[in-house]
Structure 1
Amino acid sequence: MQYANELRKDGVLVNAADPGYVDTEINNHCGYLTAAQGAAVVVRLATLGADGPTGGFFNEDGSLPW
């Protein structure tokens, strides 16, 4: 939140992303999402326009409570 508040004036948006339970080596391939599915929320946040949200926490379904 501090970064989001400080950097907004410079046009930088700062958000947190929850990719979900992605099938990776770190969880012994127990996840139910592919890497591409997990990356979708990150890509969406990385490509937000200047009027996008900042200081939020998001998953594939949208905004989550902190």
Structure 2
Amino acid sequence: MTGSQDLTTAPMAFDDLEQLYDLMADTLDKVGPDQHSLFLSKLVMILAHRMGDLASVTEAITLAEDGL
């Protein structure tokens, strides 16, 4: 994702989302409840760095927080 894209551009295919969900669930089980927050924080920072766009990352954080 580049600075000219937003979170609604080129969504991930549903089958890929299901695969990602399974991977996340398995990984969270593997790291254990005591490490969930650290793992998720590290994952967000890695993905944010790869995205390279502060506005998109900020939008994603806001969307994830909505309703919690």
Q: TM-score, normalised by structure 2?
A: 0.30
Higher helix share: 2
Q: TM-score, normalised by structure 1?
A: 0.31
Higher strand share: 1
Relative CO higher for 1 or 2, CA cutoff 8 Å, sep ≥ 6?
2
